[in-house]
A and B are shown apart, each in its own frame.
Chain A
Amino acid sequence: MHLLWCCVALVSITAHTAEPRRPDPLKSGIEFSSAEVRALQQDDFSSPAMLWATRGEKLWNEPAGAGNKSCASCHQDARASMKGVSARYPKVDPGTARLTNIEGRINLCRTQNQQAPALRYESDELLALTAYIGMQSRGMPVNAVIEPQNRRNFERGRDIFYTRMGQINLACTHCHDRNFGRKLLNDTLSQGHGNPYPAYRLEWQTVGSLHRRLRACFFGVRAELPPAGSQDLLDLELFLAWRSQGLKVETPGVRK
């Protein structure tokens, strides 16, 4: 059975070795959201996601670890130093030569520079910092560059996007390329962009990372869930960033 699965996977991978296409016209998920959700995201005070960004601002200035350094000790004012940073991630970290997203970058800083324990993925603290850093790029176009260092990650992410998976046997592309704008039960399918994340989802009643959202899709097609922060999800995150190139960052966004 496993062998059969591998064959099926191989066939579908080889079918998509050409450069993939972005959805046309490119639309942010907020355009598929209801008027109420849109109003919530537009008003910085009513948006519950801003509570996390506010907490992130506090954490930014709070010393941590044996080094007794805060983020601000090195990076000063995030409003200047973090402007546009989230829009360029995920990137290959030169030190570890691994693809790193903002969450991973924060934890690298914590363990190497602050000598503090890494923050747990999906913890309120990590979400708050990611949301605060992401907010500094709000309104700027997503701009992840595919270069030789991350080409391999990009291709792996692309293959995940086009590979059928789970008991439902669907690939990301089936909903988010071919059927966006149409209904899946009570939901309007979006194009599946990561530009609002970390975002507040009304369903979660809390802010969650892009990886949590991706895991929800894996769960939806009844596939095995890759852990948050895993290589599979990082590669997929890079592919999604390429795919949403030019869309404006909405972090911290609001979704249904």
Chain B
Amino acid sequence: MSVARILVPSQAKRGEVVEVRIAIQHPMETGFRMDNNGRAIPKNTVSNLVCRYNGAEVFRAEMGSGIAANPYLQFYFVAQDSGNVEFSWVDDAGEKGSASSAITIA
């Protein structure tokens, strides 16, 4: 089970630059570690994360073994219309996650 926390302002003015934050619970296995029996632990990172605002892609991150566990990302976009901010991501093991939040333009 993947847990994520996202923070998107619920209200904004048209044309305002809004801050978006997301934190995902994920071990981000580098692929360089061995388990107690000396076997390699396969690489498993959140390889691809996309944020869509009303269907249009506004942010994309491709993360690899250099990103620490439980990645935290913060970025900005210009709020234009009321709608949904949707995150979706997939890790190397194929496990998918998603989160969304509504934003209202005053």
Contact = CB atoms under 8 A, between A and B. Distances in A.
Interface of A: 45-46, 48, 50-52, 54-55, 58, 205-206
A51 B23 contact: yes
B70 A51 contact: yes
A46 B3 contact: no
Interface string B38-77: 0000000000000000000000000000001110100000
A108 B87 CA distance: 38
A45 B7 CA distance: 8
Contacts of B5: 45, 50-51, 54
Interface of B: 1, 3-5, 7, 21, 23-25, 27-28, 68-70, 72
Contacts of A55: 1, 3, 25
A205 B27 CA distance: 8
A205 B69 contact: yes
Contacts of B68: 205
B21 A45 contact: yes
11 contacts: A46-B72, A48-B23, A48-B25, A48-B70, A48-B72, A51-B4, A51-B5, A58-B3, A205-B28, A205-B70, A206-B27
Closest CB pairs A-B (n = 8): A205-B69, A51-B25, A48-B70, A55-B3, A51-B3, A45-B7, A54-B3, A54-B5
A205 to B, nearest CB: 4
A55 B28 CA distance: 18
B18 to A, nearest CB: 15
Contacts of B23: 45-46, 48, 50-51
Contacts of B72: 46, 48
A206 B70 CA distance: 8
Nearest to B4: A51
Contacts of A206: 27, 69-70
A23 B24 CA distance: 38
Contacts of B3: 51-52, 54-55, 58
